[in-house]
Amino acid sequence: MLVLSRKVGERLVIDGNITVEIVKIQGNRISLGIVAPSNVKVLRGELERTPTIEQVVELVVEDGLLVAC
């Protein structure tokens, strides 16, 4: 893990096409602005670990009938 100190208005550039800018620092909270190509998924960490409904639910269909969930 790379740990950097940044001030408001300073930026990080990742792989030449993702920019992270420090927008605001207030107490122990910071606001970040992130610019990335549309094909790059940007999620908060807690959302990235949340399973999707497709990962949780398994449907079993036999002869066109739902037999198990």
- Summarised one tens digit per residue, pLDDT across range 7-17 is 999 999 999 99
Q: How confident is the model at residue 67 (pLDDT cuts 50, 70, 90)?
A: low
pLDDT the model gives residue 42: 86
What are the distances in angstroms from CA 62 to CA 4, 34, 55, 58? 55, 46, 20, 13
**Radius of gyration of the CA atoms of the chain, in A:** 20
Q: What is the pLDDT of residues 25-58, one digit of tens each?
A: 999 989 999 999 989 888 888 777 766 655 555 5
Residue 32 zone, left/alpha/beta (φ > 0; ψ -120 to 50; rest): beta
Q: How confident is the model at residue 68 (pLDDT cuts 50, 70, 90)?
A: low
The structure's pTM equals 0.64
